[in-house]
Amino acid sequence: MSRNIHRPGTRAAAVLAVLALALVPACRDRVANPTVPIPSDFTLAVGQHVTVQPDNVEIGFREVQGDSRCPTNVRCFWQGEAGVQLTLTNAIHQTQRVGISVEGHGSGTAEAMDYRITAVRLDPYPQDAGPIPQSAYRVTLHIEQSEP
């Protein structure tokens, strides 16, 4: 003969244990960004960040705006341009948005937070007149200290 013995509060304790386990991933610290020295070159996808050392400045690739670069299989009278949008955040959480205009296959440069940042390459380069999804973009940046 089997008997089911129920203790008061057992069900509530089990529910609380399941909820606690579900919340554990939300309580973990964010994964640290990769670090890069000054000067250096690195590549980011939209949404990715790096931390510049030794100044502990985070650089994030927000998006590409207005990609009007002339597709490789089209004849254009102008090479077009694309706007690389970055965010820089320093150790005391001051944030600065930076836009770098990249013309055609060329590069573009901006200065912010005592750095000179050059967008060396923006991929993919348009092949036809269709839009490129934000998730496909990769920008190669060169960062160095600004000249005084």
Report the pLDDT value the prediction gives residue 75, as an integer from 0 to 100. 86
Report the pLDDT value the prediction gives residue 130, as an integer from 0 to 100. 82
Percentage of the chain lying above the pLDDT 70 cut: 79
Please say whether the beta carbons of 50 and 35 come within 8 A. yes
- pLDDT band at residue 73 using 50, 70 and 90 as cut-offs: confident
Instruction: Supply the pTM of this predicted model.
Output: 0.76
DSSP assignments along 67-107, one per residue? --PPPTTS--SS--EEEEEEEEE-TT--EEEEEEEEETT--
Which amino acid belongs to residue 71? P
pLDDT tens by residue, 1-29: 555 555 555 555 554 454 444 444 444 34
pLDDT tens by residue, 74-117: 888 889 999 999 999 999 999 999 999 999 888 999 999 999 99
CA-nearest of 49, 67, 62, 48 to 122 is 67
Token representation of residue 73: 């299989």
Q: What is the mean pLDDT of the chain?
A: 85
**What mean pLDDT comes out for the span 31-59?**
94
Report the pLDDT value the prediction gives residue 64, as an integer from 0 to 100. 98
Count the neighbouring beta carbons within 10 Å of the beta carbon of residue 114: 13
Which of 33-42, 66-75, 86-95, 138-147 is least confident?
66-75
What residue ranges define each of the domains in the chain, with the CATH number in brackets? 35-145 (2.60.98)
Report the pLDDT value the prediction gives residue 29, as an integer from 0 to 100. 45
